[in-house]
Structure 1
C-alpha cells in the first residue's frame, strides 16, 4: 500500500482536529467513524503511528482510501459503500502493515430500557451490562466496556490492545445515566485494561480498575482483565434444590470458617489453587461433619494482611488462587459433597487505593464527600454512600451476582454495626445526625433491607448472616415486619460472655455463673449463629486453647467441655479453622495451620470430639430443629453456681429429648442429682471426658436410669460436658 501524505484540509475546524489528537474532544463519536457527507459517506479514524490507511468492510472489501489530515495520526476520506457500517482499517508505515478495527463505527450496546432502569436504581442485572463483556455486536466479535463516571470530562478504556493510549478509545457518554460505554472489536479475553478518567477540572486521574471487573491481575499489579462469560457445567442441582425447599432455621448449620491463603500451603509455602484447595479441604470438611464452609473475603484485594476485608474488586474472585473458573469448580465440588459455601462480604467500607473506587471520577462518587459520613476512622477507609441509588444498586447487584453466577449459599455481611450507626467510633462533632436528629444511618438500613429483600426474593435457599454487635432490634426479622431482613445474626454476646467465663480459674467461676446463663434470656430474640471466629484468635488474643484457664491438661479439658456446651446450646455453630484441633499458636495469614499437632493425642482428641459433635448435631433433630425457638430449650439446672454446673434439655416435636450437662470445675461429681423430663433410661451419647478425646474417661458406663418422676443420679466428670438421650 503506497504512502498517502497530508492532502487538502479537512472540513473539521483545526481546533477540533487538535482536540482529537490530544484526546480532549468532548464527543469523538460525533466526528470519528462513518458519517454522511455531501456525496455519500466519509470515514475518519485516529491511528497513531500510521502513515497511510485504507478502509475495509468487515468482510475485507476495500471501502475507500483515507488521507492523513494531522501528523498525530488522524485520517479522513470518502467511502464507496452505500450504507453506514462498521469498518476496519489497513494501516501502514515504514515498518509494515497492520489491521485496526474502528470502534467509532459501531453503535451503542446499551439501550433505552437499560438507561431507564439504571437511572431509577432498579436494574437488577447490572453485572450483565456493566464492566467488560465479550460478545458479538454488529457483525464483529469484541468486548463491550461500560463504566459509571457521571462527573468525568472524558473516560477512555486503555490496555495493551491500544498501547495504554487514552486517545484511542474515548468512550461514549450516556448522559441520562452518567455511564460511558464503547465496543472494542477484535479483542477477546485475557486482555488487561483500566479506565483513564479526566475529571471535570481537566486533570487526568491515576488509572482506575473496573468496579465491575470479573477478573483482575495478581497483586501487586492492579489492572482488570477481560474474560469470557463464566463457563462451568454445574452439577449441584440436588444441593440447591434441597436448600430452596427447606426452612434453614430448622436445619443443622455448622460452619467451618477459613482463610483460603493459610488453611494449607504447597510444599514451597505458596498458596494452593482453588483446585488444589478443593482436593484437600472438601474431603476434610465432609469428614469433620461441617455443613458449610465460610470463606474470609475472596473478592479481589491488594494487601494480604487485610485478609480480604479491604476489597477493591467486589465482582472478581482474587487472582491469588487462580482463574474465576477455578472458584466455580471449588463451589461446585463442595456442593456435590453436600457442603454449602458462604462468602464473607464487605459492603461496610472500601480502601482508598488510587486504582480503586475512591474519588472514582474525580469526585466523591461511591463515598460521601463529607468525611463525617464518608471516612471510616477505624480502618482509614471510605464508606459507601448508601443513599445514592447507583451505589445501592452496585452493591445489591453484587450480592445477587455471587448467588447467581457462583451458586453461593450465603453471604456473611461484615461490620453491620458500623453501617447502622452514624456515630460508630466517632466522638461528638465528628458525625452528622440523620434527618430526625438521630444516630441511626437510615440510608444504610434501606440498603440492607433492599439487599436482603432481593436475595431472599430471587434466590430462595441462599442465606444472609449479619455480623452485628449491638442490640439493634429485629436484625434477623423480615423486612415487612420492620426488620433488616437477615436470615441470621452472629451472637457476639454469647461469644464474649462464655469465653470470659472459660478464661477464669474454676475456683472463681462460682461468682460468674451468669456469664453462661445470661445469654439464654435473649437467645430466641433473633436467629443466632454462635461464632468462634477469626476475630478471637488474632491481634494478641491467642488461640482458643490458650484462652482456657489452668495447666495444659485443664486447658484441653476446658476446651472440650466448652465445645460440647456450645454444640448443645441453641443456635447455629461457627468455628474458625485450626480451632477444631486446638491450634496452639495465634492465627497468622502468613503461614499454614500447624497440622503436625494432630500427631499429638490431645490435639487429635479435640478433632475427634468436634467431628462427633457435628455428627450428633446433624443427626439429632432435638439438637438443631428448634435452634431459633424457645420451645426447643428447657432448663434443668440453672442456679447451681456453687458447683458450676449447668444442665438443660434440647427438644423437638416427636423427638427424644437430649440433656446437656456441664461441670465446669476440675472436681468429679459422682451421684449428682437432677430431674430429667421423663423417667426411664437415658443413654450417654457424648462425654467430652472420654479417653478417645484425651479425657480421663470418667462417665456413666453408657447410660443413666431416671425414676418415674425423672429424678436421676448422674456422674459428672471433671471439666466436662455430657449429653444424655432419652431411650
Structure 2
C-alpha cells in the first residue's frame, strides 16, 4: 500500500511538473474535481492567491480550507462529504486581499444558467459502437474526399412547442436523419462549451472542459456523435482558444494577478469583443488549452476542431485598442503563432486524422500545410475572401455585374495557396446583413433562381463546403440565436423545392469525383472562359483522375437566357447536360434538359472543338462527356 501511495504521489508530482512546463496535455486528470475513495479530491491552480477554500452544497457553502503546493501554485483538498450532482466553487483570497467566489476552470459540468457553479459529474462508461467509422477515417485522405459541412447553432435549430430548445437527445432523433436525408458529410457546431450568455453564441467561454448544460448532458452528446458516425456523418466543433468571458467570477485575474491573461493590460483586454485574451506564451495556459482540445477529441470522438478568430491570436494589432510592437518592431504575436503550431503538432501526433480548421481572415501568414515550412499547421482555412467577393457580386444588380466580374473570378488566382473551405456561414446572416436568400437581387422568383446559381458555383468551385442551417431552403429572415429556424417556410412550394435542390446538389457533389478527387492541385480545374463579361457568363471545367472524368460548368449571371451559347471543349464527341438549376423540380420552369450536344471542329479560345447549348436566365448548367474521343482535340 505504501508503494502504491508513493507511486500515486509521484504521478501527481509529474503531472504538476509537466503542467508548469506546458507539456501536460491531460491536465484535467490533475486539476478539477476527481472521485477518490469515498469522496472527491479538488485541485485548482492559483499561484498568487493568499488563500483558497472549497465551498459547496456538501458543506453549506462554508469554507473548507485548501492546502497550497508552493512549488506548483496548485491548491488541494479532499472531502468525503461531497456527492455527485452537488454544486461547488472555489473561494479565492486574491493577491490584494479581496475574496471572490470563482468557478473551477477544469469543471466538466456546470449548473444551468444564469448560475455558474460547477457540478460534480461522473461520466457513465460509454461502450462506443463507431469503430467502423473511426477505422475508415484513419485510412481516408480528407483532402481527396468530399467535405460538405452543415453549420449549426445547437439550440436554435428547432424549439419545442413550449419554446424550449432541443437537447442533444432530441437532435439525435431528428437532426441525424435530416443530415443523412440532406446528404451532408459533416455537421459543425458553434461552440458547445459552457458560456453564461446565449447572445455570445458560445464564443465567450467559461468552461473549456464542460459542455453547456443548456444543450443537455455530456452523455447525450456522446450518443449523438455515435449516431452521426453510424450514419456516416462526421462531427466538428468550434473552439475558442484566443479569448474568454470577462465575468469576474470566472477566469479573469483568477488569483488577483494576470494568471490566464497577458501581463500587459493592452494585450490582455480584447476591446473588439469585450473579453479577455489568453497569454498564449504561458506554459500553464498552453497545458490548459491543449488539454481542452484533446479532451473534446477523445471524450466525445469528434472528427475535427474549428479554431475561431485565429487572426486575433497571431497579430498584435488585430484589436481596436492600443498595441505595442514586438521585439522586432512588427505586429506578429509570436506567442500566439508558436502556440498554434504547437497545438496542431500535438494533436496531429496523437490523432493524425483529426481535422484542424482555422477561421482566419488575413493572407499574411501561411495557415495550412507543413509547420516546418512556416505554416501554422492547420488542415483547412476558411476562404473569407471568396465569401466576401461572391456575396457582393450576387447582391448586385445584374446590370453592373459585367463591370465587377472579377469578384467571382479573382479567387481562381489564389485558390491553391491554402487548403480552403468555402464558408457561407452564420456570420453572413446576422446583424442586418440579411439572409442569403434576402441578399439575392430581384423579385422572389429571381432570388431563388440566383440562390440555386450561387450554390452551384459554391459546390463546383475548388474548396470544401460549409453552409449555415436554414440556408438550405432559403430562409428569408435573418438567423435569431434564441429562436428556432423558420420551418414553416417549407409549406411554401418555392422553399420546399429549394430544400430539395440543396439535397440533390449535395448528393451530386458526393458522387462526382471530378469535384474533389484532385482538389489539392491545379489539375482539378481548367478555365474555359472567364472573360465573357459582356454576357456575364462564367465557364470552367472540374477534372478527376481519369481523362474522361470531367465536368463543364456554365453560370449565367444575368436574367437573359443565352441560346446557342458557345462553349469550348477539349475533345470531340457528345456532351450530356446532367445538371440544370431551372428544372421544375427545383422551383424553375424547365420540364426537360437540353438535348445532348455534339461537338463541332470549330476553334474557341484554346479549344479546337465547340458545342452549343442554351443557358437559362440566372441559371447554371453542368455538362459531362457522354461519348468522346480523348485521342483527338
> Which TM-score applies when normalising by structure 1?
0.83
- Within the alignment, does 1:506 sit opposite 2:392 as a pair? no
Residue aligned with 2:253, SS: coil
Q: Verify: 1:181 aligned to 2:80, yes or no.
A: no
* 2:54 aligned with 1:135: no
Match of 1:482 among 341, 357, 374: 374
CA distance in 1, matches of 2:238, 2:112: 20
> 2:332 corresponds to which residue?
440
Structure 2 residue aligned with 1:316: 210
Aligned to 2:614: 715
1:200 aligned onto 2:82: no
Matches within 5 A, 1:331-350: 331-350=225-244
Q: Which residue of 2 aligns with 1:328?
A: 222
| 1:303-702 superposed matches below 5 A | 303-426=197-320, 430-654=322-546, 656-697=549-590, 700-701=593-594
| Deviating more after overlay: 254-263 vs 706-715 | 706-715
C-alpha spacing 1:278/1:339, structure 2 compared with 1 (3 Å): same
Q: Distance in 2 between matches of 1:702 and 1:148?
A: 71
After TM superposition, give the deviation of residue 683 of structure 1 in Å. 2.2
Contact between 2:123 and 2:219, CA under 8 Å: does it hold in 1?
no
Distance in 2 of aligned mates of 1:115 and 1:515 = 53
Say whether the 8 Å CA contact 1:240–1:461 is kept in structure 2: no
Q: Deviations over 1:419-466 (max 9, x none)?
A: 111011336xx1111111110100000111111111111112111111
Structure 1 residue aligned with 2:20: 119
Q: Distance in 2 between matches of 1:609 and 1:626?
A: 25
| C-alpha displacement of 1:347 | 1.1
Distance 1:648 1:677, change over 3 A: same
Rate the CA distance shift 1:109–1:221 in 2: closer, same or farther, 3 A.
farther
| Structure 1 match to 2:605 | none
- 1:469-499 CA-to-partner distances (Å, cap 9, x unmatched) read 1113320122122100011000001100010
Cα offset, 1:130, TM superposition: 1.4
SS of the equivalent of 2:514 reads helix
What per-residue deviation string (whole Å, max 9, x for no partner) do you get for residues 75-131 of structure 1?
xxxxxxxx9xx9xxxxxxxxxxxxxxxxxxxx9696221232122211121122211
CA shift for structure 1 position 330: 1.0
Q: Does 1:165 find its partner at 2:62?
A: yes
1:133 deviates by: 1.5
SS in 1 for 2:208: strand
CA–CA separation in structure 2 for the residues paired with 1:627 and 1:433:
39
Q: Tell me if structure 1 keeps the 8 A contact 2:584–2:590.
A: yes
Q: Distance in 2 between matches of 1:111 and 1:277?
A: 39
- Work out the CA distance in 1 between the residues paired with 2:201 and 2:458: 27
Matched, 1:210 2:104: yes
Q: Distance in 2 between matches of 1:420 and 1:691?
A: 49
SS at structure 2 position matched to 1:261:
helix
Distance apart, 1:229 and its partner CA = 3.4
Q: Tell me which stretches of 4 or more aligned residues in structure 1 moved more than 6 Å.
A: none
1:172 Cα shift? 2.2
Q: Which has the higher contact order (CA 8 A, sep 6+)?
A: 2
The structure having more radius of gyration, on CA atoms, is 1
1:700 CA displacement: 4.3
TM superposition shift of 1:706: 2.3
The equivalent of 2:189 in structure 1 is 295
- The residue aligned with 1:150 is 47
- Cα contact 2:34–2:40 (8 A) shared by 1: yes
Deviations 1:11-58 (A, max 9, x none): xxxxxxxxxxxxxxxxxxxxxxxxxxxxxxxxxxxxxxxxxxxxxxxx
Indicate the SS of the match to 1:502: helix
- Whether contact under 8 Å (1:623, 1:650) holds in the other structure is yes
Distance 1:396 1:699, change over 3 A: same
Q: Is the 8 A contact 2:91 2:99 kept in 1?
A: yes
Return the alpha-carbon distance in structure 1 between the equivalents of residues 579 and 403 of structure 2: 28
Q: Is the 8 A contact 1:191 1:225 kept in 2?
A: yes
Do 1:243 and 1:461's aligned partners in 2 also have CA atoms closer than 8 Å? yes
Structure-2 separation of matches of 1:704 and 1:599: 38
Residues in 2 aligned to 1:698 and 1:279: alpha-carbon distance in whole angstroms: 36
Q: Which range moves more in the overlay, 293-302 or 347-356?
A: 347-356
Deviation at 1:230, TM superposition (A): 4.8
Name the structure 2 match of 1:15: none
Q: Describe the SS at the equivalent of 2:237.
A: strand
Deviations 1:527-566 (A, max 9, x none): 0000000000000111101101111111111111010111
Change (3 A) 1:702 1:128: farther
SS of residue paired to 2:173: helix
- State the Cα deviation string for residues 138-196 of structure 1 (Å, max 9, x = none): xxx22121111000111122111111111x2x222222211112222253321211111
- Taking structure 2 as the reference length, the TM-score comes to 0.95
Q: What is the distance in 1 between the residues matched to 2:20 and 2:396?
A: 57
Quick one: distance in 2 between partners of 1:208 and 1:702?
70
- Asked whether the 8 Å contact 2:566–2:611 carries over to 1, the reply is yes
CA offset digits 1:507-530 (Å, max 9, x no partner): 111101100110110001000000
Does 360-369 or 538-547 show the bigger shift?
360-369
Measured against aligned partners, the alpha-carbon deviations of 1:205-264 in whole angstroms (never above 9, x if no partner) come to 2x1111111001000111001111352221111111122221111110000001111100
CA displacement at 1:677 relative to structure 2: 2.1
Corresponding residue for residue 12 of structure 1: none
Q: What are the superposed Cα offsets for residues 617-651 of structure 1, whole Å, 9 maximum, x if unpaired?
A: 11111011222321101001110000010011111
Counterparts of 2:20 and 2:240, CA distance in 1? 25
SS of the equivalent of 1:499 reads helix
Give the whole-Å Cα distance in 1 for the aligned partners of 2:550 and 2:143. Answer: 19
The superposition leaves residues 310-332 of structure 1 with CA deviations (integer Å, 9 ceiling, x where unpaired) of 11111100001221111111111
Equivalent pair of 2:594/2:613 in contact (CA under 8 Å): no
Q: Deviations over 1:638-692 (max 9, x none)?
A: 1000001001111121261011110111111111011112222222221111111
Q: How many residues of Structure 1 are paired with residues of Structure 2 in the alignment?
A: 615
> Which segments of 5 or more consecutive residues in structure 2 lack a partner in the other structure?
602-607, 627-633
Distance 2:81 2:266 in 1: 47
